[in-house]
């Protein structure tokens, strides 16, 4: 680590420190934004997945409810527009159920809802078709045919509703007999009134035109001949037992009415219509049997009546058409009832599934929201820890780099302080080939300390030699001379040792120059600066040593 740091200049170290701190804060910011992006993605997923699922489930319930409302409106009012509304809502419902079935988590529920929705849709279409066959109003479909047939039967039956005329004719004949028996004028007036009443009833009756005209002609003959008969009776003339033209006209009137009169026909038809209305109103099957029984009674009445065979056949055919239309309407009602049960069952089965789907979607959204709250809190704590970690690492990096700068300065200050008072032996640790300015200052300071130490040692040796020479010249005895020579020898030996040390230093610097030259031959141009600086430093060292030994 010291070797790596030593390759950097002070500015580079400071810049590296700021860069590392900046990178730490960028990493903290990146971590914060990454966490925020994750939370945003989770919230987006909550919105686009879970909220969308809730909306989808709510839409399924809404479209099902709208379809059922439109279905109820159709069954109540039977309008074509309501069929289109149901079809539109069911198509939207099917689209949502298909989307739900495509969701892997809700595929089972989606498929079940889709199947039930298709069953409901097909059931309603079948019901709508059945109603169209039955008739959306009273004039269409089977209802229209049924009404037309029964109205035609009623209209035709009016041609044989001669009951009032028959009663009036019988009263006319009774008045005729009373006049014959009692000979009183009041019976003449009574018969005249009944003749006018009979003529009025003929005018109001729904007979065939030729029958109406025949009755009017015969009643005119009867009225004229009865006046002649009445005058004879009041005059006391011989009446020959009451026989005469008026009696023959009366018989002819009876014969005409007899051939156009079915007793109780209108009443029976009205009773049959009453039971028919009861069935249509209540839907009770008992009324179907009653309608059939009354129809059989009417058929018997027509068969036993004195009307023409052709009229009997026409009335029987109209009655058969009525029965056939009524029974077809009953069968269609049964079909509609069965289809309605199936459709209602599908709708009832679909409603709990749709409600369950909505509840599950709500629950899933609540759970996901709770998970996002926990994730947000955890992310907040993580961001705080990352920021704290970045601050701590920034402080550590700053301390480490500052220490690498301050420690050599402090060591150099201590060495300089000691150089002012002594000749210290310790040196500041340096790195070869370092680009650090403080390392270069330490190397220079070490060289200065070495030079000072050599100078002091050389000076001491020189002073010791000078002192020994002085003592040698001043020596009086042999012992003193020997002692002075020993001191000279010791001083020379110290100088030799110092020169040997310089020689070793020179050899070391020579080796460094040799190594630098080899690296210069092998290195790329961009990496030559440290070697050049090292060579320059070695050259200066050799020059200094040579100057000392000069």
pTM of the complete model: 0.52
Torsions phi, psi for 314 (to 5 deg): -65, -45
Residues of the chain scoring pLDDT < 50: none
Contacts 24+ apart (CB under 8 A), 495-502: 495/458, 495/461, 495/462, 495/465, 498/454, 498/457, 498/458, 498/461, 499/549, 501/454, 502/454, 502/545, 502/548, 502/549
pLDDT at 480: 73
Contact 302, 315 (CB under 8 A): yes
Distances (CA, A) of 113 to 110, 122, 536: 5, 14, 91
What CA dihedral angle connects 377, 378, 380 and 384, to 10 degrees? 140
CA atoms within 13 Å, Cβ hemisphere of 261: 13
* 108-120 burial: b if 16+ Cβ within 10 Å, else e: ebbebbbebbebb
Rounded Cα distance between 146 and 297, Å, is 20
Rounded Cα distance between 169 and 164, Å, is 8
Distances (CA, A) of 228 to 191, 197, 222, 245, 489: 13, 20, 10, 10, 209
Residue with structure tokens 């009025």?
Answer: 200
What the block records as the tokens of 327 is: 């029974």
Contact 143, 135 (CB under 8 A): yes
């Amino acid at each position: 680590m010291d070797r790596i740091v030593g390759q950097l200049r002070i500015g580079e170290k400071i810049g590296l420190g700021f860069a590392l701190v900046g990178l730490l804060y960028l990493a903290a910011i990146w971590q914060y934004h990454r966490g925020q992006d994750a939370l945003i993605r989770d919230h987006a997923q909550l919105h686009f997945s879970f909220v969308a699922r809730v909306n989808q489930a709510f839409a399924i319930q809404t479209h099902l409810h709208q379809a059922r409302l439109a279905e109820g409106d159709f069954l109540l009012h039977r309008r074509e527009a309501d069929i289109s509304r149901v079809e539109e809502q069911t198509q939207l419902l099917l689209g949502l159920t298909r989307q739900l079935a495509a969701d892997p988590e809700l595929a089972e529920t989606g498929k079940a809802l889709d199947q039930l929705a298709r069953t409901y849709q097909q059931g309603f279409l079948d019901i709508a078709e059945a109603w169209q066959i039955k008739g959306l109003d009273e004039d269409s479909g089977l209802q229209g045919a049924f009404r037309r047939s029964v109205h035609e039967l009623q209209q035709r039956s009016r041609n044989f509703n001669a009951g009032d005329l028959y009663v009036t004719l019988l009263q006319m004949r009774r008045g005729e007999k009373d006049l014959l028996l009692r000979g009183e004028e009041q019976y003449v007036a009574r018969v005249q009134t009944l003749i006018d009443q009979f003529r009025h009833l003929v005018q109001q009756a729904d007979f065939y035109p030729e029958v109406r005209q025949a009755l009017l002609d015969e009643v005119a003959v009867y009225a004229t001949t009865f006046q002649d008969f009445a005058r004879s009776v009041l005059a006391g003339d011989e009446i020959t037992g009451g026989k005469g033209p008026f009696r023959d006209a009366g018989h002819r009137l009876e014969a005409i009415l007899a051939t156009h009169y079915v007793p109780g026909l209108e009443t029976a038809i009205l009773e049959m219509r009453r039971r028919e209305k009861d069935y249509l109103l209540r839907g009770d099957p008992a009324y179907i049997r009653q309608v059939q029984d009354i129809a059989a009674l009417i058929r018997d009445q027509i068969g036993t009546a004195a009307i023409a065979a052709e009229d009997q056949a026409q009335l029987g055919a109209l009655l058969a058409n009525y029965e056939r239309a009524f029974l077809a309407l009953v069968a269609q009602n049964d079909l509609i009832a069965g289809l309605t049960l199936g459709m209602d069952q599908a709708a009832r089965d679909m409603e709990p599934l749709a409600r369950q789907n909505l509840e599950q979607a709500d629950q899933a959204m609540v759970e996901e929201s709770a998970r996002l709250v926990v994730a947000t809190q955890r992310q907040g704590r993580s961001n705080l820890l990352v920021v704290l970690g970045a601050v701590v690492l920034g402080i550590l990096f700053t301390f480490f780099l500052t220490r690498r700068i301050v420690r050599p300065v402090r060591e150099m200050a201590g060495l300089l302080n000691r150089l002012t008072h002594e000749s210290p032996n310790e040196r500041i640790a340096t790195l070869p080939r370092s680009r650090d300015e403080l390392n270069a200052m330490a190397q220079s300071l070490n060289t200065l300390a070495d030079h000072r130490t050599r100078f002091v040692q050389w000076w001491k040796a020189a002073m010791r030699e000078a002192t020994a020479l002085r003592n040698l010249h001043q020596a009086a005895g042999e012992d003193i001379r020997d002692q002075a020579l020993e001191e000279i020898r010791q001083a020379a030996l110290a100088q030799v040792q110092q020169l040997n040390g310089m020689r070793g230093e020179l050899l070391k610097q020579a080796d460094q120059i040799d190594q630098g030259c080899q690296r210069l031959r092998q290195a790329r141009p961009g990496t030559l600066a440290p070697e050049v600086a090292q060579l320059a430093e070695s050259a200066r060292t050799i020059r200094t040593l040579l100057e000392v030994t000069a």
